[in-house]
Structure 1
Amino acid sequence: MSLPKFFSASRFRWMTLLLGLQAVAYYAYPKGEAIPHFDPLSRLSSQIGSWRMVQDVPIEPEVQALLKADDAINRVYIDAAANSSASLYVAFFKTQSTGISPHSPKVCLPGSGWTPRDSSRMAVQVPGEDSPITVNRYIIQRGEASSVVLYWYQTPHRVVADEYAAKFYTVIDSLRFHRTDTSLVRVICNVDSRGEQAAQDEAVRFTQKIFPTLRQLLPS
C-alpha cells in the first residue's frame, strides 16, 4: 500500500499531524472505543505446516511490565526437513487510547546487546492478501553472531511497517472503527554458515506460513 506524500516529511510535521488527529479523535468520540474480544495467543498452533514449536520461551515479568502488552508469546519453531529455525514474538494490545503502544524492535534489541548493522523494507507475498505486505528487514549482530529480523504492525485492517504510519492509522481507525487494537509481530532467523540470504529466505518462508494463522487468531 502506498502512503500519502506527507509521510516523507520531517518528524516534527509527523508529530504535529498526529497530535492534531488525536485531538480530533478525542473530541469526536468522547464515549471511548470498542474493545475487541480476543483469544489468548497461546492458542496459536504448535504445528504450522512443516514448522513445529520446540520451545515456548517465558516472558520475564519485568519485561512484560515494561511492554504492557495485553497478551504476548515468544516461541521457537523448527522445520526439521529444511534444517531451519525461526523465533516468533507476538505482542497484542487491545487498545492504545491510554498511550500504551508496541515498542519497536529497533529500540528493544539494541538494549539487549544487539548492534544494528542494516535496516530496510521488503515486500512479502503472503497467502490471502491480494498484494504483498511490507515489513521491516533488520540485520543485527552481537559478537560473531548475527540474525535477520522481520517485523511489522498488524491490525484488523492493514499491515504497516513504518512506526509513524502505524500511529497515523491508529488515529484514523479510532475515528472510523472506534478501535485502536494492534499487534507487533517479529520473526528472527539466525545467520549460520549458509549466510544472510539463506536466513532471510527462512524468515520470509516462515512469515508466509504463519501470517494466515495469525490473521485468523487475532481479532478481526
Structure 2
Amino acid sequence: MLSFLNSGPARLVTLLLLLQAALLYSSIRPEVIPASPALAEVPKTMGSWQLQDEGVIDPEIRQILQADDLLNRSYVNPAGAGANLFVAAFRSQRTGKAPHSPKNCLPGNGWAPLESGQYPIDVGPAGPIKVNRYVVAHGDQRSLVLYWYQSRDRVVASEYEAKFWVILDAIRLNRTDTALVRVVVPIVDRETERATQTAVDFVKSFYGILQQYLPA
C-alpha cells in the first residue's frame, strides 16, 4: 500500500485532485474582471497603416461569438495593400463563453486550408511572439491568415495551451479573460510570401497599441 502511494500514478491522482480542488475554490470566489478601454477606441492610424473601413458585425454573428467587445476593421498601407484586423475580447470565460477558433470557423464559411503552421514575429520590445499562420482558399480567392490568443502580456498560438493558461490564471489570479486576434491579408497573384510579409508588417504596427486596449 505504501509503495503505491509513492508511485507515479498515485502522485498524478493526487495532483489532479489538488487541481480539481483549486478549480472548485476559484469558481466560488467572485472573479476579478479587469477593466480596459473599448476596442472602438483603437486608433484609426497605426504606424503607416490607415483605417479604410469600419466593418459591421451582424447581430446574429455577435450572438454566436458572445464576445464582450469586438473590433472588425480594414486598414491600408501607403503601397495600397490591405489587411483586416478582427479582435474578440472576453472579460470572463466562466459562463462558457470562449473564443471561436478560426481553424474551425474558416472551413465552416467555405474557406479551405491549404497551408498551416506557426510563425514567429518580432514585435520589438515586447519580444518575439509565435502565431498561427494559415493559407486558405475560397474558389479562386486566397488569403493569408494570422491569429493568436492574447491574455495579459502573453501570446499563445495553440488552442490547447490557451485553455491550459485559462485554468492556471483562474487558479492563480482568479481571472479568465482573453482575446482572439486575427489578421487577414488577400493573396494577390499567388504571392503568398508577399502577403505574409504584409501581414507581419501590419502586426508590428499595431501590436504595441493593441496591448493598451486589452487587460494588463
- TM-score by length of structure 1 reads 0.87
Are the counterparts in 2 of residues 120 and 138 from structure 1 also a CA contact under 8 Å?
A: yes
CA distance in 2, matches of 1:117, 1:193: 16
Aligned partner of 1:11 in structure 2 is none
Contact residue 130 and residue 155 of structure 2 kept, 8 A: yes
Alignment of 1:1-220 (within 5 A): 21=19, 24-28=22-26, 30-79=28-77, 81-130=78-127, 132-193=128-189, 195-220=191-216
Q: 1:46-72 CA distances to partner (integer Å, 9 max, x unpaired)?
A: 011110011011111001101100010
The aligned amino acid for 2:83 is A
Contact 1:152 1:160 in 2 (8 A): yes
Do the aligned residues in 1 keep the contact of 2:112 with 2:136 (CA within 8 Å)? yes
Write the distance in 1 (CA, Å) between the matches of 2:168 and 2:123.
Answer: 25
Is the 1:18–1:168 contact (alpha carbons within 8 Å) kept by the matching residues of 2? no
Bigger CA radius of gyration: 2
For 1:51 and 1:194, how far apart are their aligned partners in 2? 23
Structure 1 segments, 4+ long, off by >6 Å, are: 17-20
- The alpha carbon displacement at 1:29 in A equals 5.3
SS at match of 2:126: coil
Q: What secondary structure, in the 3-state scheme, does the structure 1 residue paired with 2:104 have?
A: helix
Identity of aligned residues (%): 44
| Long gaps (5+) in structure 1 | 1-16
Shift of 1:73: 1.0
Taking a change above 3 Å as real, the CA distance of residues 29 and 129 of structure 1, as seen in their structure-2 partners, is same
| Amino acid corresponding to residue 28 of structure 2 in structure 1 | P
Per-residue CA shift, 1:199-220, capped at 9, x if unaligned?
0000011011110000112111
SS of 1:121's equivalent in the other structure is strand
Aligned letter for 1:70? D
In structure 2, C-alpha distance between the alignment counterparts of 1:19 and 1:213, rounded to whole Å: 41
**CA 1:175–1:83 in structure 2 vs 1: closer, same or farther (change >3 Å)?**
same
SS at match of 1:217: coil
Which sections of structure 2, spanning at least 5 residues, go unmatched? 1-14
The structural deviation recorded for 1:99 is: 1.4
* 1:175 alignment partner, SS class: helix
Q: Which amino acid aligns with 2:89?
A: F
* Residue 109 of structure 1, CA deviation: 1.2
> Once the two structures are superposed, what CA deviation does each residue of 1:86-109 show, in whole Å capped at 9, x if it has no partner?
000000000011111100001111
